[in-house]
Copies of this chain bind each other. A is one copy, B any other.
Amino acid sequence: MSLRDRKRARTRQALIDAAVDLFERHGYDRTGVADIAAAAEVGTRTFFRYFPSKEALLFPEADDRIRAAVEAIATRGPDERPAEVLLRALRTVTADSEDMGSRLAALRLRLIRDVPVVRGRALQLQLDAQREIARHLAATYPEQLDPVTAAALVGAFIGAVAGALQVLLDDPDQAADPATVQAALRRATEIALTGWTAAAPTG
């Protein structure tokens, strides 16, 4: 890794750290890009050479997540079914994010809930991930899944998880309890993969 690359990585991290700090202290809307750049000791113009927009800074590892999910699909067991592959991919991604204790991850959840423009960005990334995962899933099971069916399956899966998380995160008590969250996610995936009646025969 060359000196230039290291410098770039350091500047990038400095921008993220400065932004997280300022967002926590003064709020997202009350923090300008110029403030972030100044705190990271770079020019305002330089900020946009590292991130395409102010919100993008909150999702610095988005690509890695998708890559991890795609890889989880690629390395499937010989007799693993699509549903099982999706579950494993979900576990892989959520395990990677054991940085949930990190300031950035916690801040991000709050901002997704509270700031419309951040939520919009998160939803876009989710959609991109869906599309990519569905594409690879369809390619992996060519004679079981046509592209549209794969997209519907992945959409149901991620939609269920996202929907459950959304209402869960509105309740600070439930969101703070890992066991409750885990149970809700398990329930959501069951609903998506086996249907509601099968997942919860009566309640």
Most buried by B among A119, A155, A168, A192: A155
Is B149 within 8 A of A187, CB to CB? yes
Is B203 within 8 A of A152, CB to CB? no
- A158 CB within 8 Å of chain B: yes
Is B127 within 8 A of A123, CB to CB? yes
Give bound CA distance, A202 to B149, whole Å.
12
Which residues does chain B contribute within 8 Å of A187, judged by CB atoms?
148-149, 152
- A163 CB within 8 Å of chain B: yes
- A104 CB within 8 Å of chain B: no
**Number of contacting residues on A, CB 8 A?**
50
Mask for A186-203, Cβ within 8 A of B = 1, else 0?
A: 011001111111101011
Q: Which 6 A-B pairs have the closest CB atoms?
A: A159-B159, A155-B163, A120-B120, A195-B195, A156-B160, A152-B188
> Given A120-B123, A148-B167, A152-B163, 5 more contacts at CB 8 Å?
A123-B124, A123-B127, A134-B167, A147-B167, A193-B196
Partner-B contacts on A (CB < 8 A): 81-83, 116, 119-121, 123-124, 127, 130-131, 134, 143-145, 147-149, 151-164, 166-168, 184, 187-188, 191-198, 200, 202-203
